[in-house]
């Protein structure tokens, strides 16, 4: 069959695709007529104003002032609470009733220190009673008597109880002081008593002879050089010193008798200079109760109306710092040999 002439017409050549137009530049993409919104610009923080030097100086100065004020307040609060002079707490509420405690230990030579502590506690209205915590063999006669008198004065003038609690030793001058208290507590094995007087000095006459030295003394009055440590005392001097010792002994006996609410005649047989245990002393009427510091504390608290665990306040101790110790007179740290040759006769309420 013959092909249709129409079918035999040559095919039209293929038309190539029109060339693609290049993309518009970025700026033109968002320009009309497209109408797209431009993106947000990158965030640029606003420039802060520069602080002046005086601003920083004021900030630093204020911070230092606040810190100094806080430290000062803390030190003031602690100091006031330790000295017993602070009757109000930080929150403004009044501090509760407390028991003051004064430690009396070692050889008694400085009456002023102990008496100052007793007075501070006596003047504190929050302190309802005072305990003398004693562990001492006694000491100077005059110093012991001075503390005894202060204890008696505070008891009567301030109307405050003062109680003695003997730890291991409460002898001679220490017992003298304890006898002025309202009550005396001691442990069964505590050492109590030693009512008596002793006078002593060092005689270095033989040392003078060995060193070929001679003491030269010019005096007016027969007994002016009594107790000269370079020679033995004369019979008259011995009698003189014995009269002084006897007089102090009588004062000791009488004050103990008054403090223990008894008579001199009852105390004198016990005033032999010997000591007794707490158990023995209770039977002799030299103490009031067997018990240690804790027993004395609780009993005293209850007697002044304090229930529960009593608050305790100690007077501040005056301790020297390292710098003060190093700058002190060296004779106080290391006694010079000359001090051995410079000792006057001393009178002591001392148990040895």
Each residue's pLDDT expressed in tens, for the chain with a length of 352 residues: 445 544 555 555 555 555 555 665 555 555 555 455 555 555 555 656 666 667 667 777 778 888 888 887 776 665 555 444 443 333 333 457 899 999 999 999 999 999 999 999 999 999 999 999 999 999 999 999 999 999 999 999 999 999 999 999 999 999 999 999 999 999 999 999 999 999 988 888 888 889 888 888 888 988 888 888 888 889 999 999 999 999 999 999 999 999 999 999 999 999 999 999 999 999 999 999 999 999 999 999 999 999 989 999 998 765 445 444 444 444 443 444 444 444 556 888 989 8
User: Which of helix, strand or coil describes residue 273?
Assistant: coil
Q: Which residue stretches of the chain are H helix? A: 26-29, 53-83, 111-122, 141-157, 173-178, 205-210, 235-259, 264-267, 278-284, 293-303, 322-327, 330-333, 337-340
Is residue 172 annotated as part of the catalytic site, yes or no? yes
Question: Residues 6 or more apart from 45 whose CB is under 8 A from it?
Answer: none
Tell me how far apart the alpha carbons of residues 241 and 219 are, in angstroms, rounded to a whole number.
Answer: 18
* Measured CA distances, 56 to 6, 50, 96 (Å): 101, 11, 46
The single residue of 136, 144, 172, 190 carrying the catalytic annotation is 172
What fold does the segment set 98-316+337-350 form as a domain?
Answer: 2-enoyl-CoA Hydratase; Chain A, domain 1 (3.90.226)
Enter the pTM of the model.
0.69
In the structure encoding, which two tokens stand for residue 96, read together?
């509760």
Report angle CA 273, 274, 279 to the nearest 5 degrees.
135
289 DSSP β-pair partners: 185
Is residue 224 annotated as part of the catalytic site, yes or no? yes
Tell me how far apart the alpha carbons of residues 240 and 235 are, in angstroms, rounded to a whole number.
Answer: 9
Cβ(104)–Cβ(174) below 8 Å: yes
Q: How many secondary structure helices (H) and strands (E) does the chain include?
A: 13, 11
The single residue of 94, 209, 224, 352 carrying the catalytic annotation is 224
């Amino acid at each position: 069959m013959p092909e249709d002439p129409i079918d035999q017409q040559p095919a039209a050549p293929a038309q190539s695709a029109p060339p693609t137009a290049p993309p518009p530049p970025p700026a033109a993409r968002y320009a009309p007529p497209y109408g797209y919104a431009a993106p947000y610009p990158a965030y640029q923080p606003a420039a802060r104003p520069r602080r002046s030097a005086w601003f920083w100086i004021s900030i630093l100065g204020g911070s230092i002032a606040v810190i100094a004020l806080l430290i000062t307040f803390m030190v003031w609060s602690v100091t006031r609470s330790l000295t017993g002079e602070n009757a109000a707490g930080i929150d403004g509420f009044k501090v509760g009733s407390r028991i003051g405690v004064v430690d009396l230990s070692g050889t008694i030579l400085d009456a002023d220190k102990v008496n100052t502590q007793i007075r501070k506690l006596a003047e504190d209205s929050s302190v309802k009673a005072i305990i003398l915590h004693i562990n001492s063999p006694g000491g100077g006669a005059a110093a012991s008597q001075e503390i005894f008198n202060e204890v008696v004065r505070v008891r009567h003038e301030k109307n405050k109880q003062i109680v003695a609690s003997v730890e291991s030793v409460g002898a001679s001058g220490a017992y003298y002081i304890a006898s002025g208290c309202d009550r005396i507590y001691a442990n069964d094995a505590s050492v109590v008593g030693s009512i008596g007087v002793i006078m002593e000095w060092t005689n270095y006459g033989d040392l003078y002879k060995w060193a070929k030295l001679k003491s030269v003394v010019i005096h007016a009055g027969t007994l002016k050089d009594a107790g000269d440590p370079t020679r033995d005392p004369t019979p008259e001097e011995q009698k003189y010193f014995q009269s002084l010792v006897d007089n102090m002994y009588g004062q000791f006996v009488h004050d103990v008798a008054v403090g223990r609410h008894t008579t001199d005649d009852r105390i004198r047989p016990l005033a032999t200079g010997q000591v007794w245990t707490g158990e023995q002393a209770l039977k002799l009427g030299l103490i009031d109760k067997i018990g240690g510091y804790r027993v004395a504390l609780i009993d005293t608290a209850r007697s002044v109306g304090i229930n529960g665990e009593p608050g305790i306040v100690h007077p501040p101790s005056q301790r020297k710092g390292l710098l003060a110790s190093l700058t002190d007179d060296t004779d106080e740290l290391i006694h010079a040999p000359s001090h051995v040759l410079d000792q006057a006769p001393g009178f002591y309420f001392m148990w040895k």
